[in-house]
Structures are given as C-alpha cells and as structure tokens.
Amino acid sequence: MAPIAAPPENNELIQMLQAAVQDEHAAIIQYLRHAYLMGEGELACEIEGIAREEMRHFWILSRWIVDLGGQPVTQRGFTDLAGTTAPERMQRNVAAEDRAITMYQDYLTRIQNPDLRADIVHILADEMRHHDDFVHFVDVATRELQAEAATTVEGDAAAAAGETLLPADQEALSWGVSHEYAALLQYLVHSFLTKDKDEEISSQLMTQAINEMQHLGWFGEELGGQGLEIPLDHHPLTLPSGPAAMLAADVQLEHETAAMYAQFIEQITDPGAKGVIDDARGQELYHENLFKRLLKRLPPEAAAKFAQATTSRVWTVGSLKQKS
Ligand SMILES: [Fe+2]
Ligand SMILES: [Fe+2]
Ligand SMILES: [Fe+2]
Ligand SMILES: [Fe+2]
C-alpha cells in the first residue's frame, strides 16, 4: 500500500489504536485456537462468537486509524498459548480481557474525540461481557473436564486415544489453516479500506472474511480434534491500493486456493479432512465469482485494468514441498 502521511497531531492516537488493533488480532487467534482445541460443542461455539466480536473491534479500530491518516496494521500482538487444559486456557482468556479492559479504560482518559470515545465505550462494554463469559467458561470447562475424566476411568481410554491423520492429510489441513487465516485478514483489511468507496463491496468483503473464518474453523477442528496443533502463521497478504486492485487480488487468491484444494482432495485419504476441504473449495469458487461480479460494479476503466485478474500463478502440492 502507498504510505499515508498522517497529520502529526494524530500520531499518538494512531499509535494507541494500532496497539489496540494488534491486541484485537491476538484475541481473535487466541480464542479461535481454544475453540478448535475443544472440538465441536456449545462452549466452542460461544468462544467462536466472542472471536467474531473481536474481529468487529479490529475492523472498527482499523477504520479509525485510516480515517486519522494512519497505516492499518496486520501484525499480531501477544497471543497467550499457555494452558494445557480447557479451564486453564479459559483462565488465560479472563486475563486477556482484563488487559483489554485496563487498556480501553486508560484510552478513555486520554481521548477527546466524542465519536471515537463512543466506539471505545462500546468495545469496552463488549470486553467486560467477554470477561464475565470467560469467568463462567472456566467453571463450565472444569465440570466438563471432570465428567470426561469419570468416563475415561470407566474404561473408555481406548476411544479417547482416537485415530491420527496421515502426514499428507495434516499438511493439507495446515496449509488450509494458514491460507484461510490470510484470506480472513486480507478481506477484513480490504473491507475497511473500501468502506468510503463502495458500501456493497466493503460489506461483502466483511461477510466473506467471516466465511473464511468458518473454513479456518472446519480445518482447525479437524486438526485440534486429533490433538494436533493449529498453525498460527498466515500466508502472505496482498494489500494494494484501490478497490479494483484489491478485488483483483481477492479473485486471484480464491482462484489459487480452489486449485490447491482440488489437488489436496486428490491426494488425501481421511474422509473428514477430504469433506471439509471439498466444502471449502466449493465456497472459494463462489467467492471467486462474487469478487468478479463486484469488480464489475467499479468504473469500467478501473475494472478493465484487472479484467484478466485470474492469471497463471497457481500453486501445486509439489512446489509447496520444494519451498518447505
Ligand atoms: Fe476486543
Ligand atoms: Fe474481548
Ligand atoms: Fe476459505
Ligand atoms: Fe474464499
């Protein structure tokens, strides 16, 4: 992206908001990781719901950074990976919410702009609710852990051991997680950067970012359900200037992703992994088509420049192995 020159009087405020955005990013990933390690269930769903709210905070604060003339940030702040059991992890989330509450309370003593204050008051109220939710989740997770231990004592240890994924299946799911993470971030950033230019494009990008978060969830649960770690890094982002260039990059990303998933489907054996990758592939093809349609909403000269957006750069499983 082209560097943006912020008025110097906004610098301190921009830095504060950039720090907050990095923490919101960390919260999204920390909570999603915890949900996936839990597998399917009511508690995991509730935690994913909180991660989606953190995503909204990320969006709101990033918008402010851009409005104030600053650069959006995609780096992630401190992500707490500690905790070997679900109750321990929930306790870590209580601490993360405590840190957020302290930060936003401090910001409210330093920020004058009434509109920004209103947004921070709204975010702070969410963080307080999250804090109480996680306190409650510590109890719920503790009870679930005790119930699970009782069942295992009754002789179900063999079932608890589960099956393991073959390396090729693990590789496909891990690639997918890093890729969905990149798509999620890329669309979020494109969404708040296009907000002033085209409301429909911006809101569609936000909706599809949430859809990519779902894919991340499908893959993450497949890995987490078998006790495997979820990658916490994302593939590179493409963040060009202007809605046409952004949509062209998004079309390209979808095209490449669908092609890669098609290759994985040929090679992997686990039916669960195959099923979720195939489902995601279908939705990526829909996204590719949707982004092409959105490109057509833009002035013809802007869209024409990117009409041939889907070019030949397509990954292969072979080239991926060479790289690693
Ligand atoms: Fe938040
Ligand atoms: Fe929160
Ligand atoms: Fe996806
Ligand atoms: Fe997609």
User: DSSP characters for 32-93?
Assistant: HHHHHHH-SSHHHHHHHHHHHHHHHHHHHHHHHHHHTT--------------SSHHHHHHHH
Same domain, 130 and 187: no
pLDDT recorded at residue 29: 97
Q: How far away, in angstroms, is 122 Cα from ligand 2 center?
A: 11
Structural domain range at position 234: 163-324
Residues 153 and 176 in one domain: no
Are residues 157 and 32 part of one domain? yes
Residues 179 and 324 in one domain: yes
For ligand 1, the distance from its centroid to the CA atom of residue 100, given in whole angstroms, is 7
> In the chain, which stretches have pLDDT less than 50?
2, 155-161, 309-315, 318-324
Q: How far is the CA of 322 from the centre of ligand 4 (A)?
A: 25
Measured in angstroms, how far is the CA atom of residue 81 from the centroid of ligand 2? 16
Count of domains for the chain = 2
CB atoms within 10 A of CB 166: 14
Å from CA of 50 to ligand 4 middle: 22
- Choose one of 161, 182, 217: the last residue of a domain: 161
pLDDT in tens, 157-204: 444 445 688 999 999 999 999 999 999 999 999 999 999 999 999 999
Axis crossing angle, helix 114-151 with helix 86-110, rounded to the nearest 10: 170
Ligand 2 centre from 94 Cα, in Å?
A: 9
Q: Are residues 9 and 74 in the same domain?
A: yes
| Total-model pTM | 0.89
- Do 106 and 175 fall into the same domain? no
Rounded to the nearest whole angstrom, what is the distance from the C-alpha of residue 24 to the centroid of ligand 3?
21
- 184 and 320 belong to one structural domain: yes
Same-domain pairing of 173 and 226:
yes
Where among 145, 161, 177 does a domain terminate?
161
